Amino acid sequence: MSTSKLLRSILCYLVIIIIALIGGVFWMTSNDRAIDYDVSISNSEVPTFSEQVIEFTPTYDKAATLPFTAGAIVDIDNDGVEEIFFGGGIHQADAIYQFQNGTFIDITASTQWTKQTPDKTFSAVAMDLDTDGDTDLLVTRQSGVWLYTNTDAKFSGIQLDLDFDDKSVPLSVAVADLNRDGLYDMYVSGYIARKNVQGETIFNQEYGGISALFLNKGNNTFENITESSGLYYQHNTFQGVFIDVDGDNLEDLIVAHDTGTVRTWKNQGDLKFRNMPNPTSDYFSYPMGIAVSDYNNDGLPDFYFSNVGSTPPTALVRGDLRDDQLLNKKWIMFENKGNFEFEDVAEKTKLADYEFSWGALFEDFNLDGKDDLVVSENYADFPTHLMPAWRLNGRFLIQNNSGEFAAVGSEAGVQNRLYGISPLTADFNQDGFPDLVHINLKGPQKIFLSNGGDANHLKIKLPNTVHSIGAKVAVTLDDGTMSYQTFVIGEGLCSDQSHILNFGLGQQVATAVSVQFLDGKTLDQAGSYLNQMLSLTPPSDAEPSNVTLGEETL
């Protein structure tokens, strides 16, 4: 065979191999996007949405930072229409957008928001932290945790002086008033700084960021009480959520640890926590985002945790696990059985077998009284997610009458093949139906405005302060059934949702509302409530008030 013919043969074989590899990737990613379960939705209405795009693109420098970006819902001017906060990358400003006349407008300049350091903004939570009636923001960056105080829709920021591990970055923050002094305390999730990263599949070594629990001493000073509280644990941490798991009126702590387990910390009082067993205690996984719901309406909070799913080959993500150590790549769904016991019902609810995912949230998008689930997907550092054609769509799943979740993103018009970090939800157009935002890295932000429907709703607005964290709200319908929600801060991943609780009533009317705050105060109100918002404050502060949203009729 001549040299030229040999070269042509080699080139031909190389082309065939390359075509086969590309075809294989297309098949693999298409298979990853497939719907894994056949779930009946014959008695469920699929909500539909109209898509908009906000041209704000958070930058990402893999050599210098981590692949996350902040997103939070915040009502900066107390007009009842919430804004969106977006975190910027290195040498990129943050941004605040407002819904005006059917579209979103950049209002950052008018808020006087200034990013004092050129580093990346990882996360944000929005609360009235100084109890002056305006919503402030806590923001985490590579440089630390920043407090932005809101005064008449104008922000001023300071960096909090925290005793935080110098090899870690604060990826996110959970907030509660643990000692009932009216001040916000913080659990700051620590992730290893990019310059100190040694790998992404390290399970067994003492490696990773160190999270910290900070007790607020007043005047924006904090004491690190991590070790005395029992919470010290060195492991990369995505986020935590404070919530009363077992009904003892104490904020427990649910934490998602990368290359590890979910940790469920029971608050024992006196600022002490105890690590309790849960379904992930006997295996290893990659829990990332946390979504909270009482999905089966039994009065107990349940939890969804994202995971790497079916996307990566098992051999690629086992890392340093021994042969006798189990790895679970599937999505995780904790059903709260009471007494701090959980059952993983991901398979039962038809959620287990899906693909790689980040942040997630529960919300009743069709207002039928059952929470639905939205999950953000795609990893900027995965080779198979390099091209849009290879990426995942994100998942939009509605819950049917049997407590199973059906993937209906295509029918709903909700797809996001960008690098989604977390979904957000709020009612921007004030039609009573929740709208949806996908917070994206290295791409524009996607907005999905609900097209509405004929179902009824009732919104509950509690004071947006630490006093409301963990408050349990129960709504009674005219057929006697009950619906439950908890006031939660920081659901998703590096994000914060609307703090207005939206109860789907279907075709019914609400006849009573009950609120139980963690300090023992309760509030009960009876009446006939339909397509309106109740603004409720604890009895010691003011009498409850009934506020109807303009001429809203659905």
Q: What is the CATH number of the domain that holds 96?
A: 2.130.10.10
Percent of the chain beyond pLDDT 70? 92
Q: Cα 503–505–510 angle (5° rounding)?
A: 90
Residue 21 lies in a domain: no
- CB neighbours of residue 167 within 10 Å: 14
Does residue 357 surpass a pLDDT of 80?
yes
Does residue 544 surpass a pLDDT of 50?
no
Phi, psi of 202 (to 5 degrees): -95, 115
- Residue 487 shares a structural domain with residue 455: no
- Residue 147 shares a structural domain with residue 265: yes
Residue with tokens 């009126």: 249
- Residue 434 shares a structural domain with residue 479: no
In the prediction, which pLDDT does 551 show? Answer: 33
Q: Which of 113, 115, 77 is nearest to 98 (CA)?
A: 77
In the prediction, which pLDDT does 251 show? Answer: 98
Q: Which amino acid is at 278?
A: N
- Residue 288 shares a structural domain with residue 343: yes
Query: Of the ranges 228-237, 384-393, 410-419, 495-504, which one carries the lowest mean pLDDT score?
Result: 384-393
- Residue 451 shares a structural domain with residue 516: no
In the prediction, which pLDDT does 36 show? Answer: 86
Span 53-78, average pLDDT:
97
- Residue 127 shares a structural domain with residue 185: yes
Residue 111 lies in a domain: yes
- Whether the Cβ atoms of residue 409 and residue 49 lie closer than 8 Å to each other: no
Coil, strand or helix at 467: helix
Tell me the pairing of strands 360-363 and 510-516.
unpaired
Confidence at 538, pLDDT banded by 50, 70, 90? confident
Q: Which amino acid is at 467?
A: H
Confidence at 170, pLDDT banded by 50, 70, 90? very high
Report the helix count and the strand count for the chain, using DSSP H and E: 5, 37
Instruction: Report the distance separating Cα 118 and Cα 238, nearest Å.
Output: 22
Residue 32 lies in a domain: no
Residue with tokens 């700051």: 188
Residue 547 lies in a domain: no
| Residue range 79-96, pLDDT digits in tens | 989 999 999 999 999 999
Number of separate domains in the chain: 2
- Residue 186 shares a structural domain with residue 131: yes
Confidence at 102, pLDDT banded by 50, 70, 90? very high
Does residue 410 surpass a pLDDT of 50?
yes
- Whether the Cβ atoms of residue 172 and residue 493 lie closer than 8 Å to each other: yes
- Residue 330 shares a structural domain with residue 344: yes
Does residue 52 surpass a pLDDT of 50?
yes
- Residue 380 shares a structural domain with residue 434: yes
In the prediction, which pLDDT does 205 show? Answer: 82
In the prediction, which pLDDT does 207 show? Answer: 85
Alpha helices in 335-456 (DSSP H): 409-412
The DSSP element (H or E) to which 184 belongs, if any, is none
Q: What share of the chain is helix, strand, coil (3-state, %, to 5)?
A: 10, 40, 50
Q: Strand ranges (DSSP E) for 260-411? A: 262-269, 272-276, 290-293, 302-305, 332-338, 341-344, 360-363, 372-375, 395-399, 405-407
- Residue 477 shares a structural domain with residue 511: yes
Confidence at 436, pLDDT banded by 50, 70, 90? very high
Phi, psi of 24 (to 5 degrees): -65, -40
Span 518-546, average pLDDT:
83
Residue 2 lies in a domain: no
- Residue 274 shares a structural domain with residue 315: yes
Percent of the chain beyond pLDDT 90? 86
- Residue 432 shares a structural domain with residue 501: no
Residue 431 lies in a domain: yes
Instruction: Report the distance separating Cα 116 and Cα 157, nearest Å.
Output: 8
Does residue 73 surpass a pLDDT of 80?
yes
Residue range of the domain that includes 521: 468-535
Residue 329 lies in a domain: yes
- Whether the Cβ atoms of residue 456 and residue 264 lie closer than 8 Å to each other: no
pTM reported for the whole predicted model: 0.93
Instruction: Report the distance separating Cα 27 and Cα 23, nearest Å.
Output: 6
Residue with tokens 């009235």: 128
Residue 459 lies in a domain: yes
Does residue 114 surpass a pLDDT of 70?
yes
In the prediction, which pLDDT does 242 show? Answer: 99
DSSP conformation class of 226: H
Q: Which amino acid is at 518?
A: L
Bridge partners (DSSP) listed for residue 338: 341
Does residue 50 surpass a pLDDT of 90?
yes
Does residue 552 surpass a pLDDT of 50?
no
Coil, strand or helix at 17: helix
- The first and second tokens of residue 29, run together, are 């990613």
Does residue 30 surpass a pLDDT of 60?
no
In the prediction, which pLDDT does 9 show? Answer: 61
